[in-house]
Every structure is written in C-alpha cells, then in structure tokens.
Structure 1
Amino acid sequence: MASFDFSRRATMPELMDTERCDFATFQGCLQDLARVNRLTLAYRPTLGFLDGLAASGRVPRERPLRILDVASGHGDMLRQILAWAERRQVAVDLVGLDLNPWSARAAREATPAAAPVAWHTGDVFAYRPERGFDLVVSSLFTHHLDDASVVRFLQWLEEQAAIGWFVNDLHRHSLPCRFFAAASRALRLHHFVQNDGPISIARSFVTEDWRRLLDRAGLPAGSASIAWWMPFRLCVARVKP
C-alpha cells in the first residue's frame, strides 16, 4: 500500500497476468472474482447502459442484439446480461472472449448449456469475428493494459461496435484500495484476488486519465461519457449517432 502513488497509474504486474497455474487454481480465482463483483454491485453500470439503450429505442427488435464481452473471465457479466435480456424480452446473441484458455472452460461450466453464449479464447487485437457486433462491453479489463494499449483498445472498440461500447472499470483512489486489502483478507478470498485487488485499483483510472486517453484515441470531445458509479467504479460509455 505504502508503495502506491495514486497520482498516476501503477505499473506493477498482477498474478493473474503473470503466474502460470492449473485449471482448478484459476477457476477458484474466477469464482472469487465473481463473488467480489456481486458484493460490489459491479454489474449495475453495464446493465444501466443497456437500460438506457433500450429506453432510447436503440435495441433492435427484428433480430438478436449481438454483444461481445472482452475479457469475459468467469462469464458472470454475460450471464447477468442474459438475465437482463430475458426480463426485457430481448433476443440476444452473446460472445465472451478471454486471453486465458482456462476462462472459456470455467465460463462454459458455469453457464447453462442452452444459453445463447459462445466462449472464445484469444487476443482481442487479433480477434476477427465472422459477424460484427452491435455492442462491445468490458469489465475490469482496461486497467490490465498500459496507456498505449488502452488507446489501441478504444480505437478497436470504435471499429467493432456498430451501436456503441461500454468500459466498466475502477476508480484509482487510496480508500477502496485500503478497504479491499482488509476485506479480501477477512473474507479469505483466493490469494490471487487478495494480491491483485489493490494492484488493480492502483493500476486503474481517474477522470482526467480517460479524457486524455479518449483524445489520444481520436474520439471527438463529448462523444463518450465518463461516469462515476458507487462504489468507486469509473465507466466510459459511447453510443454512436
């Protein structure tokens, strides 16, 4: 904690990005991350974005809404989106993409076989889908990237998403960092989660970071919104005209 300088993004690597492990170890980490997501209301910003699109009439009704989740992990965000779609009576075609091959297996095992979700393994920048996507979402992904890669990802989102995209990530601040370090120990979360949680927060963003990165990516001023969500989420939304 004392080594983090919250005035800038940290560069310390996370165990999830660097440690090789077996499937059971990685699955246990993903399951505890999904637990953290539930406790911290992590799905709410993304579902709120979808609510806004539905209210504005941007969700197609004549065909399934096609959504890609980048860095889909345990698949819990897509399962939440599927539940949202069922409540809204919206047909969906969902795809989860993750770099770690264990993620697709873990997500598939946690998802009903009949769900309209496909799980793929690969690097997002090399991913060439057969069909385009209406929406691209990501959660807790961009803080794993350096600034240049975030800019590249924003440009990739612009190319791939026909209707819009949503980046759901963390707000860099000492308070959630200290709280998570204590809470993760008290809850006896997976050791990867205990180690990586504070680092993730220190690697994440403040509003000015996102303004600078959006500008570097070539997005016109005001074309994407940056919003703070409780507790300490900082999200970027883009709906194309």
Structure 2
Amino acid sequence: MQIRSSEKEFLDLGFPHYSHEEYEDCLYKLDRIGRWLGGDRATWSALEKLEEPPQSILDVGCGGGLFTIRMAKRYPHSTVLGIDTNAEAIAFANKQLQQMVEPPSNVSFQICAQEHLEKNLNFDVVTSTLVCHHLTDTYLVEFLQQAHQVARKKVIINDLHRHSLAVFLFKIVAPICFPNRLIKHDGAVSIRRAFIYDDWQQYLKMAGFEFSRCSVSWRWAFRWLIEINKSERVS
C-alpha cells in the first residue's frame, strides 16, 4: 500500500448517502473506537508533554465532539473550541452538552463555514484527529501551515497508518465491535487513504518546519501521532 487511495468515503459524500440515524450511530461508534483502540491515549500523551496545562485548545474537525468534551473535562481551566464544516456534527455535539447533567462550561462548538483556518485565531494548542486522511496532499500541507500559525505552543495531529494488516484486522473487528454500515465501509477506505511514515516526513518538509521541533511516532492501534512544537525542540 505505497500510494494513498483517492476513493471517497460515504461521510465525504454526505446526505443522502446515509440517514440521520445512521450518521449519529456512526459518531457514537467512532468515539468508541478512539477510546478502545488507543486514539485518545495518543493525543493525551502529547498534551501531557506540555510544561504547563494549555489555557486554550482548538479541536479542528471535532466531529461529534465527544472527545472535545473529554478534553474540556480534563483541562477545566482551559477554553476549548471544537469546529467542523459539517453542521450535523456540530448539532450532535451541542446535543451531547444539552443532555449532560453537568456539562463543562469551558467548551463550545462552531460550524466552520470554510475549510481554511482563520488567520486571526489564536490557541495554545491545535488538535486534529482523523481529519488529515480526508485531505489531498497539497491541502494537507496548507492545513499544517495554518494550524502552526494558529497554535502558540503545539500542533497535535492524530491519524491512521496505511497498512494492509490494519485493513485486514479492521474488516474482522468492525462488524463485531462497531456494527454500522458507514463504519464498515469508511473505515477500510480511511486506512487506504491514510499515511506511512515517509508521507509525514515529506509533508513536514514541504510545510517548511524544522525537524528538530517535530515528532512522528507510531501508536497502537495503527495510528500516527504528529507533534509540531513551537515553544521547544523535541529531545
């Protein structure tokens, strides 16, 4: 699997390729995948490396917002903003807050009408989970540059590892643990659209970053954790 696939996911195609109920169930199960298969842990580990807890976090492509809410709970003194271009995702995220007995007051969600990050945004940390594989190589480099401009301290990217074993295992596990038509189809496509180590080295180089401030590490299960530090070099 040396070349990224350009195949579209159902989620990229939008309605009517899936129902509202199917989509909400997909968001719940995607969150479960993050909690069960190490995605959350990867981002936590990157946040914990900061010398001080972040005072503000921007979660780009927050989807259903469940992980964004957990970040707000974990960092109660931080202002956390989740943004997504999908209005249905933001509606779902706001509904989660409304249904909570004690929702965190330091988190909010906004629809991002444009794909480019606004230059006037400013946050200690910019996070993005399972977003980059939806982007073309060219726009991915632009996104990294935009996120770097917005972040005061750190950019954290969490995405999939393109590997045939990952596809094989996902096709076995998904129907049993995450039964949802979108999950089963889009999950395998996502892996084929994802990345190998050399891809990230090339993107970081094209974005013009100092390698001494960047880290690309592999995490279970088949995830890449990319850390771009602005305040300190990676030891």
Give the TM-score of the pair, scaled to structure 1: 0.87
Distance of 1:83 and 1:178 partners within structure 2: 35
Q: Give SS of 1:118's match.
A: strand
1:125–1:156 Cα contact (<8 Å) kept: no
2:60–2:128 Cα contact (<8 Å) kept: yes
Partner of 1:10: 5
Unaligned runs of 5+ in 1: 1-5
Q: Give SS of 1:52's match.
A: coil
Q: Structure 1 residue 37 and structure 2 residue 25: aligned?
A: no
Partner of 1:3: none
Partner of 1:23: 20
Moved more, 136-145 or 30-39: 30-39
Q: Structure 1 residue 71 and structure 2 residue 57: aligned?
A: no
Moved over 4 A (4+): none
Distance of 1:179 and 1:23 partners within structure 2: 28
Partner of 1:95: 81
How far the C-alpha of 1:28 sits from its partner, in A, is 1.5
Picking from 108, 114, 129, the partner of 2:94 is 108
For 1:17-60, what per-residue CA distance to the aligned partner results, in whole angstroms no more than 9, with x for missing partners? Answer: 0031453332121111112212212100111111111xx24x36
Distance of 2:119 and 2:137 partners within structure 1: 25
How far the C-alpha of 1:222 sits from its partner, in A, is 2.5
Picking from 188, 205, 212, the partner of 1:222 is 212
Percent of matched pairs sharing the same residue: 28
Give the TM-score of the pair, scaled to structure 2: 0.89
Distance of 2:178 and 2:44 partners within structure 1: 29
User: Alpha carbons of 1:206 and 1:36: their partners in 2 closer, same or farther (altered >3 Å)?
Assistant: same
Moved more, 215-224 or 16-25: 16-25
Unaligned runs of 5+ in 2: none
Q: CA RMSD in A?
A: 1.8
How far the C-alpha of 1:188 sits from its partner, in A, is 5.2
Count of matched residue positions in the alignment of Structure 1 and Structure 2: 225
User: Alpha carbons of 1:171 and 1:126: their partners in 2 closer, same or farther (altered >3 Å)?
Assistant: closer
1:165–1:237 Cα contact (<8 Å) kept: yes
Distance of 2:147 and 2:185 partners within structure 1: 30
How far the C-alpha of 1:221 sits from its partner, in A, is 2.6
What code does the residue aligned with 1:193 have?
Answer: I
For 1:138-197, what per-residue CA distance to the aligned partner results, in whole angstroms no more than 9, with x for missing partners? Answer: 000000101001101111011110111100001111111111112111235210110000
